[in-house]
Amino acid sequence: MNPGDRVRVDRVGDATGDAVYEGILLPSSTETEVVVKLDGGYNVGIDRADSEVTVLESDVYSVGESESGDGSSIEFDDDLPTVSLISTGGTIASTVDYRTGAVTAQFDAEDVLRAVPDLAGRANYRGRVVANILSENMTPDVWQDLAHAVYEEIEAGADGVVVMHGTDTMQYTASALSFMLDTPVPIVFTGSQRSADRPSSDNVMNAVCAVEAAKSDCAEVLLCMHATESDDRCALHRGTRVRKNHTSRRDAFETVGSRPLGEVDYARLGDELGDHDGAEASDAVSFRRPHVERDERDLALHDDLETDVELLKFVPGMDPAFLDVCEGKAGVVLEGTGLGHVHTGFIERIEELVDDGTTVVMTSQCVEGRVCDRVYDTGRDLLDAGVVEGEDVLPETALVKLMWTLANDDDPAAAMARPVAGEVTPRSVPWT
């Protein structure tokens, strides 16, 4: 009896009477307990002493030896594309720690394959773990490790890459890889707002849709998450134009200033793969906006980052002395008000920072729309002080881009205005 087996647990009656549980056997933190994932999605722990366990089917989610030897894969099928699953932790790779009741990131890539049976038959999988952390603990160093791992997987022949990542900072990491990698294949980030032990978990649909997107012809960094609260479709967001706009909703992520690049219609996936009627899986992935095509560019890695950069949000009444923390920094991204403004008392200090070699980029707290510091006197004074307009780049994306630009371009101020990975749109229009 091993994790991944389908089992039936007959529990001898106590005060609550006899009970029968059927599902997938999960790893247990103790030898005295059997943990089963029920078909409804819940995990249940049962005392072994009061139970009889019968194996109904062995190794339902069998995970074999990977070709590279550094991860895991299911049975290889020459007719299927190869998708690399890279785990960094987060809710999609989390379960409940029964000792504390807390959600912890303790699944590796092999566990993800076992936990999401609908992945079987869609691709050949190679798996590797880059990190096992919740996304609030993500750092630029891990971004670089992840970029290297993705590069190696593509270089080894992966037809697409799916990155399992916590949702809280996923937009930062997706932006980082958008700048650091020229990719000939899709790189798809996905995660889960609700852990796998909850019936309302979005992990299965997000993972399945991400794999389908990784088989598509869009060779960009994408973020694949629920498009609505229902289990009907996932949106495919460009990695540099997406933002988490809700703390807990399953459709928390939105493309800002535009529409998503595409979507995966979960209801149209083949019934032989996911118990859904309709078209073949490839027909379920559609793109409505221009994008980089598969094999349109050669694989390249530009992973240098200048991490001595700050993101500072301006608020009314803020003391210009707050900018002292930025003294000596390589770069600063300001979140200004409206079109990109701060109190006029900041301008002299900003000019001093620029004169000392700090690149200062202005973004807007409004999120929608673009910075234009040529309309009002304050904006024009900021430009005279050397501030770089951040166009319509999201503040979080601007932070990552500035880190990357400072390390890879001799003229970071000019580079910040140039589109690199779809982070700057040609114009802002009211219907987006």
Angle at 254 between CA 251 and CA 260, to 5 degrees: 110
Among candidate residues 37, 244, 329, 401, the one labeled active-site is 244
215 classed as catalytic: no
168 classed as catalytic: yes
The pair of structure tokens assigned to 249 is 């909703």
d(CA 182, CA 167): 23
End-to-end CA distance of the chain: 54
Torsion of CA 289, 294, 298, 302, to 10 degrees: 50
SS3 146: helix
Among candidate residues 82, 91, 358, 378, the one labeled active-site is 91
244 classed as catalytic: yes
Give the orientation angle of helix 140-155 with respect to helix 170-180, to 10 degrees.
50
d(CA 373, CA 390): 10
SS3 17: coil
d(CA 72, CA 113): 9
Among candidate residues 82, 88, 95, 167, the one labeled active-site is 167
Are the CB atoms for 36 and 27 separated by under 8 Å?
A: no
Are the CB atoms for 381 and 341 separated by under 8 Å?
A: no
Task: Supply φ then ψ for residue 242, to 5 degrees.
Answer: -115, 150
Among candidate residues 10, 70, 118, 168, the one labeled active-site is 168
The pair of structure tokens assigned to 305 is 């980052």
Residues 6+ apart with CB under 8 A from 430: none
- Amino acid of residue 397: T
91 classed as catalytic: yes
Helix (H) or strand (E) holding 73: strand 72-73
Residues 6+ apart with CB under 8 A from 72: 63, 64, 65, 66, 108, 109, 110, 113, 125, 126, 127
d(CA 97, CA 81): 35
Q: Hey, which residues does 73 pair with through a beta bridge?
A: 64
Report, as residue numbers or ranges, the catalytic residues. Answer: 91, 167-168, 244
